[in-house]
Amino acid sequence: MYATASDEHDEYGHITEELHNRRRMMQKRMKKLETARHDIHAPTRYGPAEAPMVLAGWGPPMACCARWWTGWRTSAPGALLRPVALPAEAAAAALQGRKVVTVETNYTGQFKRLLQGETCIEVGHSIRRYDGRPFSPEDILDGLKEVR
């Protein structure tokens, strides 16, 4: 059993404030992250590699983007990028030199900030919906009108 708290825990789940243990447990977590980086897949990209614009996002909004892109693929202005996790190098390579638009259900643009911070690629626009309702293809089209 593990009890949550703002303090650190040891390998048995017991809460402790010991400095040495805190450092050891943090190093253990970061080692797991480094190991996991080898298993993280590159972002899934849909569309032509030379597309001038990329819609980037994750979760439910990307399902709507995929429906939009499938329906408009012959005249679609860009491609889609769906990172499962965020391997910065692969995402940066897929976005470099493109007009990047994030699609997210977040008022503050959290994914946009994360993507910019991890890839050092400027995200010029973000299509956001934060009223609790799902995106529709029309939402994507309306958002793209502001991008051009």
Residue 141: band (very low, low, confident or very high) from pLDDT cuts 50, 70, 90: confident
Using the Cα atoms of residue 7, residue 11, residue 14 and residue 18 in order, give the sign of their dihedral.
negative
The C-alpha atoms of residue 77 and residue 94 are separated, in whole angstroms, by 16
Q: Is pLDDT of 95 > 90?
A: no
> For residue 104, what pLDDT is reported?
92
* Cα 11 from Cα 34, distance rounded (Å): 19
**By CB neighbour count within 10 A (0-12 exposed, 13-18 middle, 19+ buried), where does 62 fall?**
buried
Between the alpha carbon of residue 95 and those of residues 12, 68, 85, the distances in Å are 43, 20, 15
Q: What is the mean pLDDT of the chain?
A: 81
What digits encode the pLDDT tens for the residues 32-90?
Answer: 878 877 777 667 777 777 778 888 887 777 777 777 666 655 555 677 777 666 667 77
